Amino acid sequence: MSERRAVVFDVDGTLIDSLRDIVGGVELALRRHGVTPPRSDVIAGFVGDGARQLVARSLGYDLDDARVGPVLATYLEYYEAHPVGHAVPMPGAVAALAALSAMPLAVCTNKPRGVTAGVLAPCAFGRRDDAGACSP
């Protein structure tokens, strides 16, 4: 029996640097709901535990607070429509994918599927041949 091997990557902070797009989307969502956003670096510190947690922390509310849902919906709607504006491949990501191209490769992320596809496609990871910035 042959051994199968694969590599699974996280997306944000591993394959792409999408922090400016994520923070910008949260800032926009908060403003649309009449909330002054915290500083960008504060929002950036909330990234990594999923969108609901990100929005709740940015609002200063508990995760299950009913006020989180509408702001979260606005954030997700905006981010899905604008997945890349400032995103760039992480240093070495394109080269790593090229070096591993003979193996099955996958991503595992808590980012919604539509946003994930919207972020990865313009970064040329499907082709594994573009070291430039992601573009819509």
Active site residues per annotation = 10
* The 3-state secondary structure of 37-94, one letter per residue: CCCHHHHHHCCCCCHHHHHHHHHCCCCCCCCHHHHHHHHHHHHHHCCCCCCEECCCHH
Q: Which amino acid does the sequence have at 10? A: D
Q: Which amino acid is located at 53 in the chain?
A: Q
70-98: b (≥16 Cβ within 10 Å) or e: ebbebbbebbbeebbeebbbbeebbebbe
